[in-house]
Structures are given as structure tokens and as C-alpha cells.
Amino acid sequence: MEEVVVADIGGTHARFAIATVENGHVISVAPPHIVNVAAHDTLASAWNNFREHLGRPSLPKHAALAVACPVHDDVLVMANNPWTIVRAELPAQLGVEDTLLLNDFEAVAYAVAHLDINHQPYLSGPDRPLPEEGTILTIGPGTGLGTAIIIRRQNETWVSGAEGGHIGFSPCDEFEDRLMARLRTLHGRVSAERVICGPGIIPICAQLAEDCGEANRILSDKQLWTLALEGHDRIATQGMARFCQALGSFAGDMALAHGATGIVIAGGLGKRLMDILPASDFGHRFVAKGRFETVMRKIPVRMIQHPEPGLFGAACALAMNLKARKQA
């Protein structure tokens, strides 16, 4: 067994933990140390904060970093996080031998691939486990909107991160047409992530207020989500319902695009909406794909129930990577 460092770096928070791995498997992941991204100018600063929190002079020599951006370039720039990560500088900056970089939802997909049905509560569609063969799509609304795919073929599993949240937003009714027009005046091109993410509830509620002839309240997305989940505020509650519908439409579109045979909803908002989504119009919007509605009804849609799927998934990816290197 050996210790490794795993990190899940999003737009708002960065999570760090020590994991223990052996022979390609994750034995354990310690409780995370969570820092606010805004409180640190660089990844190295947050990393040192974690090291000081543990009271260690140094950290384990292998690390896996799950980051909220594509990871194919030598310099990583995150859409919702001011940090810039230069791949070649990481060993010196962090004091490690090597780092495995993966997209944050690629890490979640690794977690999905290694967790059983007890960690995957039912959302909609057929109530059965995720398929052993085919393509499984993971979608996660949070600060942004992440996507990743799992491909299972002949007892082999491949995971790939993606940036599906940045495809164009596709309105499905007159309300969403008006919402699209509102957002286009602000952003020009409107991606799905502009609507289906934590801050997306702000323009949704603003449009609902306008439609009702009410003054728009200047509230943060955190305040609106709190009101929505409490269920006492009409506009916020309707905004949450609209969010669930938009998420269902997006998930269905992505399922068609990838030929998915299973879907998993993850992300910070997925976790918060675990009791809301099954009773919402998510399922109706997911299958409402015209001539393909019969096909869509055959796809199981589940959620992920794990305290730290990004960290667990990063640990899974690193464990497999270290095993492959030893066997090479």
C-alpha cells in the first residue's frame, strides 16, 4: 500500500485529501481539507495550506488533480477559477515526483465506474443498474456544468472527460425562448452552462419575475437556492422547477449525442437536488425527444451518492495509472 495526494479543484472550492491505494484499487480516502479558491492566488498556495493543515514537512510523491477544465494543453486555464496551472512546473511547485491531471468530471466518471448500485440512487427511466456494456454519461451541475463519458466494452472500461456544458443552450418552450433572449443580450452566444449551473437560477428567476410583472430582486444564487429548497418562495421554487426541466432536456440531448445506455447525475447541485429531481419534470423532459422517445424511455438514469466522488474518482484513476506503470 502507498499514500497519494488527490485533489478536486472546482470554481469555488478546492478539496485535498490523502488516499491509500494498492494494486490498482483504492483502499481509503481520508476526510478532505477544503479551501476557498478565492482565498488563494495559486494552486501552490492552496497545496501548502493543505500540507500545513496536516502538519507534514512534505506530502506523498504521487498526486492526482481533478480540475474544472480541459487537461490536454501544457497550460491549463479554468473557466470558473482564476488559477493557471502549468503542467511542467507542478513537480517543483508541489514537491512531488509526478502529477496525474484529469478533468473534474472525468474523475467523477471514474467514481461512477467503480461504485456499485448502492451508491447510485434511482432518478428516472427503468429502475435497473447501469449497463455492463455501452456508454454511460455523467452530468454534473454545480458552479459550472460538467460532463464525462464511460465506455464499457468486453469487460474493459474507458473514461473520457468532455466539455458538453459549453454546447449551445437549446430552448424547449416559450419561457426558455424569453430566457434565451435575456441571456443573449448579456453574453452573445448562450451555452447550456449559462442556465444549468448554480448561478443559472439568477436569470431564470429574473425572467419569471418579469413574466409575473414583479420587480426582480437582487439576490445571489446561494440565496435563491436556499429559498428554493426551503419551498416558501414562489419565484425561487418555480426557478428550481425550471432548472430541473432544463437539466432533463440537456441530459436527454447529451444521451442522444453520445448514444448513451445509462446516465448519472452528479455535481454539487445534483447532490442538493437528490430529493427534488425524481419528483420534478426532469424525467419528462429527458424522454421528450420526438421520434426517439421510445428509445429514451429505455435508458436508466441514476444519481451518485458519495461524499466526495471527485476525490474518490481521482484516487481510482491514479491507482490504475500506478498499477499500469509497474506492469509496463
Query: Distance (Å, rounded) from C-alpha 320 to C-alpha 239?
Result: 42
CA dihedral 195, 266, 269, 162 (to 10 degrees): -30
Residue ranges matching CATH 3.30.420.40 in the chain = 2-110+307-327
What's the pLDDT at 68?
A: 82
Between residues 52 and 156, the one the model is more confident about: 52
Between residues 170 and 12, the one the model is more confident about: 170
In order, the DSSP letters of 278-328 are: GGSSHHHHHH--GGGHHHHTTS-EEE---S-HHHHHHHHHHHHHHHHHHH-
List CB contacts of 316: < 8 A, sequence separation 6 or more: 26, 110, 111, 113, 114
Residue 54 zone, left/alpha/beta (φ > 0; ψ -120 to 50; rest): alpha
DSSP state of 129: P
What's the pLDDT at 201?
A: 98
Render pLDDT for 182-239 as a digit per residue (tens, 0 to 9): 999 999 999 999 999 999 999 999 999 999 999 889 999 999 999 999 999 999 999 9
Mean pLDDT of all residues in 93-99: 93
Please give the CATH topology (third level) of the domain spanning 165-303: Hexokinase; domain 1 (3.40.367)
Mean pLDDT of all residues in 76-82: 79
Render pLDDT for 99-109 as a digit per residue (tens, 0 to 9): 999 988 899 99
- Would the pLDDT of 79 be above 80? no
When pLDDT is cut at 50, 70 and 90, the band that residue 77 belongs to is confident
Query: Distance (Å, rounded) from C-alpha 301 to C-alpha 283?
Result: 9
DSSP state of 64: E
309-327 and 104-114 helices, crossing angle to 10°: 80
Query: Distance (Å, rounded) from C-alpha 274 to C-alpha 276?
Result: 6
What's the pLDDT at 327?
A: 83
Q: What is the mean pLDDT of the chain?
A: 94
The separation between CA 110 and the C-alpha centre of its own chain, rounded to angstroms, equals: 12
DSSP state of 214: P
Does CATH number 3.30.420.40 belong to domain 2-110+307-327?
yes
When pLDDT is cut at 50, 70 and 90, the band that residue 151 belongs to is very high
For the question of whether the overall pTM of this predicted structure is more than 0.75, the answer is yes
Mean pLDDT of all residues in 62-88: 88
Picking from 60, 79, 59, the residue whose alpha carbon sits closest to that of residue 68 is 79
* Distances in whole angstroms, Cα of residue 108 to Cα of each of 132, 281, 297, 308: 18, 25, 25, 9
Top mean pLDDT of 78-92, 150-164, 170-184 is at: 170-184
Which phi and psi angles does 139 have, rounded to 5°? -130, 135
328 is written with which cell numbers? 509496463
What's the pLDDT at 324?
A: 85
- Furthest C-alpha separation in the chain: 66
Render pLDDT for 234-293 as a digit per residue (tens, 0 to 9): 999 999 999 999 999 999 999 999 999 999 999 889 989 999 999 999 999 999 999 999
**First-residue to last-residue Cα distance in the chain:** 19
Residue ranges matching CATH 3.40.367.20 in the chain = 165-303
Query: Distance (Å, rounded) from C-alpha 292 to C-alpha 132?
Result: 23
Query: Distance (Å, rounded) from C-alpha 95 to C-alpha 99?
Result: 10
